[in-house]
Amino acid sequence: MKIIICSPNIPPYLISITGKYKELQEIIGQNIKVLSLNHPTILILCDEDYYNNFTGNREKCRLGIPGTFVFVAREKNRLRSLTDEEINIIIDTIRKQDLTLVHCKIQVSGT
């Protein structure tokens, strides 16, 4: 399953995972919060405790989301791999607010 990981102060990157809940917890944190976008198949997953208790300036966070978060896709209420088209939509969305992607190519690691 292809996902995009966004962590503070580093460019987002694409990885391939098995898609198990435990694996997502290792990336994000124990309590996973789902944030929907204005897109029918793309979701953001982040650490619920960190998101809800963050006291810093959200404007300085990528897309206003503190800490590490991931982009995943869904189909019929199940998580699935991002398609190339969805990856391009995500990169365009991030690029509008985040200059770390101006000259960055998303590379697949771990495949």
Secondary structure, 3-state, the chain? CEEEEECCCCCCEEEECCCCHHHHHHHHCCCEEEEECCCCCEEEEEEHHHHHHCCCCHHHCHHHCCCCEEEEEEECCEEECCCHHHHHHHHHHHHCCCHHHCCCCCCEECC
Where do we find the tokens 């290792």?
26
Q: What is the domain count for the chain? A: 1
Q: What is the pTM of this model?
A: 0.84
Give the residue, 15 or 10, on which the prediction is more confident.
Answer: 15
Give the residue, 49 or 108, on which the prediction is more confident.
Answer: 49
* pLDDT given at position 99: 55
CA dist., res. 19 & res. 2, Å (int): 9
* pLDDT given at position 98: 65
Among the listed residues 60, 66, 47, 69, the one whose alpha carbon sits nearest the alpha carbon of residue 3: 69
Give the residue, 94 or 66, on which the prediction is more confident.
Answer: 66
Q: How do strand 2-6 and strand 13-16 relate by DSSP bridges? A: antiparallel
Segments forming the whole domain that contains residue 10: 2-109
CA dist., res. 47 & res. 39, Å (int): 21
